[in-house]
Structure 1
């Protein structure tokens, strides 16, 4: 599929080529090398092979891949039309190496600038094309290809009449970030070191990667190749939008076929076409979830370490940090950072499994001044050690990367840059602490328990997560840490000291540990459906509030009162999701509340009248050591004023005020409430929610909901109600009709007749087949295999039976 749009002589004028590639004329050879290596890797991956790229750099640059090859004549027809720009990747927004569509066109242009009148040679499938290109003063481009038949060799090769140096950063990045490829260079071979996982080149894309403009461009491209309905377009090319969802999304588009968007632009203007795409895209995003960052793949720790050793002679053990997340517009991203001590200074950056013409993070790193680019940031981290040797690789994977112009300088969102800064700091500081601890020679007095834990945590994460492949709990991580710190200290690590204390502090400094999960502490209960969502990090991450089911969520610090609230029907009466925790909100509980707030659901809090109760409400509103989520919260109490009005008695035992009892929330309280809570300074007062009768508790909540104007139930927009009514009517009608038809046809009796009329197949060989199939431990049960075999036989038998002769439809009065 080729997406074309006008271009002229820019491929052959040096100034235009500088704009198109982002490099000056002196680096044109490097740019040619990068374009051809990227193309070779892409072609080899198309054949599902481990890429083998042969490169000769002198006297001319020649590159051959082991891909499927190409039809030379067809390729020439596309790439030698210099009036257009051609790219099959441009409109898809996938995380691909190539993006701007320069490829072989700029190669021809740069080759002409560096070696005028000399030909570029293409070869594949027994065809060779020797192509000479000459731009005329009139603006016309005269192309002279000479075709000949040659012995067939595998793959596709390009020879450009210029020598190049392989000692450049873009080529180093291409080799580093493609560990699954073998590079056969003149006199040297860089062997592949492992496999990589990548987002498939032809996989469906996500609507969350697009805006209206780019969706329209994609639609135009597809319309030029296929005549599809909007529903077929959505179902075929977008992830998570098949079947009924595709149909529902298509209803939001004012046209029925993709080509009609082009006609809409012609008849009513571009704004009308973009408005149509805006509405369609909004619905598609609502109906689909963003692609998880893990789906983008990555290079991986072992591959990074092996390539660093191959390319740069880095022998020291390094630290690998992987961070995953979403940008503000729900595009997933993956950051991989590898840092290790080295004899010389090496900094390599890459984007989507290749290098960039200009290093990433050259300026405004972490939002600082230009001096705080990546180099400036490293100087701040390393201080005097910056001038000594180290190796640093930073790799970004994300779809839909935008560029500041045609200069191939990628624009990375601020949140990605921020995450990169945190990842670099974690890797650098981890190595620095490990080196410092190792230099102490091991006496336990030289290293505190905290320093030892911080030094080994990155390695412990690697072990607990199986190299980033599996989730892990704090308990599992603790056992790995406990074993590793013995190289620094003989002291025992207590679990209660490790978490939440040290583990929380470490994440405060270096960012959340990817893959770390916390077991559920509490549950959230949906109204009307009764679905219970355990408040664990994994369970909450997989949950999204259903549209128009509830408009409020109440965090209650005590699970024990949940049955009372449900028995009173408060959840159904007020369309209220009840989130019952255990004291302070866990990270998962705060994630749940933050998710609700993003969906315009009001967050409420109910707590004891004591210092900790009021702190629970405050910590929901602010970032804490365990959660970066800050949520807008309405405090329903219990407050001192409520207790007085209700005539509640304070707890006779009170609350011992131990060390650290003075909390920030106390500075915001009225004098009478502060005096009640702090008592005599040694023992404070409290009133627990459990002290309220069920009637008092329910009355308190209902009164507070009314005071805040939150007693209203969910009332969806008119179009949502009408659509739901039509869908429910259709579903009920079909179910009733099916039941009536089954009654009329007397289906059980008919099925019995059919079953008696067919011959049972001979399954004699099945036990042996199953025994052999199970020798390799496939992830299935023998019952699954019997089920599949029986289904195949039944399908074959029924295909040969005329079922209509068994059906006798009578008429009933």
Structure 2
């Protein structure tokens, strides 16, 4: 057996990669990034641009205007030693660059393993560093002209001297450092679970009082008072109690306070999403906020799909692999992600920044585990790509109306709903997005086309837009209950199918025919509900079908339509919706009337187009096109037959003939029948016994006596004032509601007094 201490992995290129988290050809680019990250974190707001990065032969120079490093040679020697214990400020959770505090050891190890050199200049002193194979670093001190901030010069040995693009990660970090807004507050106790907080206290090298001053809303006086109550060595239970105490000072900062880079890259679609994720360990859990910026350039002119992934404005070390699965889905693999993201069919260039005070890591190389951010990433990527497609050059994307609608849709939803406070109609959504469409397209948008695009988007998402409602486009009539329910979105959402009342639904676009069926008692005779829809099958009608089908009871859906091209398409669309919508368990049956059937019956045939030469052919349903080698598809180009061509007796007779051989009346199984009989018998017995008992007890005399007593107790009440006060408190009530509430209160007091 051989023994090797952890620090020894930093002194050889082959093992340093384990600690750095990158392959050997990226060690130089990583070393530059680590030093630049430290400089950017130390810079004051607005000074990040003063972080100067210069490439020199075989290396680089990083200089900043920060607070500088202690000029004590012993401190420098220890800080830039690979053998030292892990020293880090990163246990304090803030949305800052870095995660472990391991960066300087990686830089020193890279210099040592490549046989390079390194100098640090700060506070008027120059320190030439000589890392040793023993793990220690020797230091030679001379004077320097650097009095403000820090200058670090790194030169690599032969093994790393010729690495290309050495400064690319660092230059990108500097370019975005001061863009947008960033968090300027202290750490929050809500950002820690119990394990992390205990480790913070256990590892701290400063007095507890000073540590507590680092927390949000904790003043120096309060920090001292709390610290004075704590013992010298804090146990886990005491740490848990302290964490609870700190949380009492203030609620968790909102995710929006983390800031965002903002919409800063021209020709990139942009999206920012915020939220929180739970972090758990033993005991108390924590809640970590996030702010995610996603930028997407979408174009077939790009060479390939690519991604730049950042955490807190610095490029991650983890390797991200991309691959296309379906045409519009991009697989992103790495840093905890192994998922498909909807990016559209065009090639995409993604830039992503996750701003977060704590992100778990997967290795010493600080490869972040981003799995917990999958859902918000998916949402932001999809939205940014949608906007990216809309911003593509017009000669490539043709600035389609749909692309523009997709680009501005989420903002329009927020505007129409008052940031999610209210429901909104489809037409309100149209007017919310209309100004942007006018500006982008330069022409008046079409509402009907807009409606079709929204319906298509909802179909792709598998759900309605959040908060939208649609006006009534028809009705559903229930036999036996007599209910007639408008098919608007809100009514559909509240709809509950009566149990064991219907076994089928009859759909027809012509409401007038349903009046004939209702008057004749046809729905009750067949236990069949009637659903009408004005024009084409509305979305609300299809939603009702979903609800009707969401039951253990079998349900059959029969469609009636005119014998024309649109009639067949109505039935076909219902079939397609049945396949597309998850959980749909109704069966669609076509009753007609079909053109060949109408002709055989001798119904009146209408001619609606005299000549089709040079005109666009009318679309027909697939089953019609396949009938008799396309004869009826040609017939429908100029002719049609309406259901209204039948007289009322003829229509009912024809419909009854369609139902011959089908189960008309609903008869539940034996279990349901017996349960229903027992319930009805129990209710009949209860009503009979209740009436008998009340009669024997003289209920009427008791009520009259109580009423007289009540009149005496309320004689001094100002009933008009009670009504006015009640309506002022709840203006949505009718005038008699306050009286009802007061009558109940007075009655309960009266009965309670009698019982005593």
1:700 Cα offset (Å): 1.9
Residue 755 of structure 2 is aligned to residue 798 of structure 1: no
Residue 454 of structure 2 is aligned to residue 503 of structure 1: yes
The equivalences for 1:581-600 within 5 A come to 581-599=533-551, 600=554
- Unmatched runs of 5 consecutive residues or more in structure 1: 1-23, 35-49, 67-122, 133-144, 159-180, 185-189, 194-302, 323-335, 349-357, 394-408, 804-813
CA distance in 2, matches of 1:370, 1:451: 23
The equivalences for 1:709-724 within 5 A come to 709-724=661-676
Residue 470 of structure 2 is aligned to residue 518 of structure 1: yes
**What's the counterpart of residue 689 of structure 1?**
643
CA distance in 2, matches of 1:787, 1:514: 37
Q: Is the Cα contact below 8 Å between 2:308 and 2:350 reproduced in 1? A: no
**What's the counterpart of residue 631 of structure 2?**
675
Residue 531 of structure 2 is aligned to residue 579 of structure 1: yes
Flag the structure with larger Rg. Answer: 2
Structure 1 residues 127 and 795: CA distance shift in structure 2, 3 A = farther
The equivalences for 1:429-508 within 5 A come to 429-433=385-389, 449-500=401-452, 502-507=453-458
Structure 1 residues 713 and 422: CA distance shift in structure 2, 3 A = farther
1:664 Cα offset (Å): 4.2
Residue 541 of structure 2 is aligned to residue 541 of structure 1: no
**What's the counterpart of residue 142 of structure 1?**
none
1:543 Cα offset (Å): 2.2
Decide which of 654, 659, 684 is 2:616's aligned counterpart.
Answer: 659
1:801 Cα offset (Å): 2.5
1:692 Cα offset (Å): 0.9
Structure 1 residues 545 and 780: CA distance shift in structure 2, 3 A = closer
Structure 1 residues 520 and 364: CA distance shift in structure 2, 3 A = same
Residue 309 of structure 2 is aligned to residue 345 of structure 1: yes
**What's the counterpart of residue 612 of structure 1?**
566
Q: Is the Cα contact below 8 Å between 2:293 and 2:352 reproduced in 1? A: no
TM-score (norm. length: structure 2):
0.54
Structure 1 residues 650 and 514: CA distance shift in structure 2, 3 A = same
Structure 1 residues 738 and 602: CA distance shift in structure 2, 3 A = same
**What's the counterpart of residue 750 of structure 1?**
702
Q: Is the Cα contact below 8 Å between 1:677 and 1:685 reproduced in 2? A: no
Residue 652 of structure 2 is aligned to residue 698 of structure 1: yes
Decide which of 584, 601, 621 is 2:575's aligned counterpart.
Answer: 621
RMSD: 5.6
1:703 Cα offset (Å): 1.5
Decide which of 527, 530, 555 is 2:479's aligned counterpart.
Answer: 527
Q: Is the Cα contact below 8 Å between 2:599 and 2:605 reproduced in 1? A: no
Q: Is the Cα contact below 8 Å between 1:434 and 1:456 reproduced in 2? A: no
1:475 Cα offset (Å): 0.7
Q: Is the Cα contact below 8 Å between 1:505 and 1:625 reproduced in 2? A: no
**What's the counterpart of residue 635 of structure 1?**
590
Q: Secondary structure at the match of 1:579?
A: strand
CA distance in 1, matches of 2:19, 2:671: 59
CA distance in 2, matches of 1:390, 1:52: 22
Residue 15 of structure 2 is aligned to residue 60 of structure 1: no
The equivalences for 1:354-393 within 5 A come to 377=340, 386=349, 388-391=351-354
CA distance in 1, matches of 2:611, 2:378: 40
Q: Is the Cα contact below 8 Å between 1:655 and 1:686 reproduced in 2? A: no
CA distance in 2, matches of 1:361, 1:742: 80
CA distance in 2, matches of 1:729, 1:361: 69
Q: Is the Cα contact below 8 Å between 2:390 and 2:399 reproduced in 1? A: no
CA distance in 2, matches of 1:129, 1:156: 19
Decide which of 353, 372, 383 is 1:427's aligned counterpart.
Answer: 383
CA distance in 1, matches of 2:668, 2:578: 35
Structure 1 residues 742 and 677: CA distance shift in structure 2, 3 A = farther
Q: Is the Cα contact below 8 Å between 1:465 and 1:472 reproduced in 2? A: yes
CA distance in 2, matches of 1:655, 1:391: 64
Structure 1 residues 475 and 750: CA distance shift in structure 2, 3 A = same
**What's the counterpart of residue 82 of structure 2?**
none
Q: Is the Cα contact below 8 Å between 1:337 and 1:427 reproduced in 2? A: no
Q: Is the Cα contact below 8 Å between 1:379 and 1:386 reproduced in 2? A: no
1:624 Cα offset (Å): 9.5
Structure 1 residues 579 and 776: CA distance shift in structure 2, 3 A = closer
Structure 1 residues 669 and 191: CA distance shift in structure 2, 3 A = same
Structure 1 residues 536 and 780: CA distance shift in structure 2, 3 A = closer
Q: Is the Cα contact below 8 Å between 1:319 and 1:458 reproduced in 2? A: no
**Count of residues in Structure 1 that have an aligned counterpart in Structure 2:** 502
- With 337-346 and 557-566 compared, the bigger mean Cα shift is at 337-346
CA distance in 2, matches of 1:344, 1:634: 52
CA distance in 2, matches of 1:379, 1:655: 48
Structure 1 residues 436 and 338: CA distance shift in structure 2, 3 A = farther
Residue 564 of structure 2 is aligned to residue 601 of structure 1: no
- Unmatched runs of 5 consecutive residues or more in structure 2: 1-17, 22-86, 93-187, 216-225, 265-269, 276-289, 297-306, 313-317, 357-368
Per-residue CA distance 1:742-765 (angstroms, 9 max, x = gap): 445553443222222353246568
Per-residue CA distance 1:586-636 (angstroms, 9 max, x = gap): 112122223333432111111111111111111110149997897641111
CA distance in 1, matches of 2:524, 2:578: 32
1:646 Cα offset (Å): 2.7
CA distance in 2, matches of 1:491, 1:521: 29
Decide which of 664, 681, 687 is 1:735's aligned counterpart.
Answer: 687
Q: Secondary structure at the match of 1:580?
A: strand
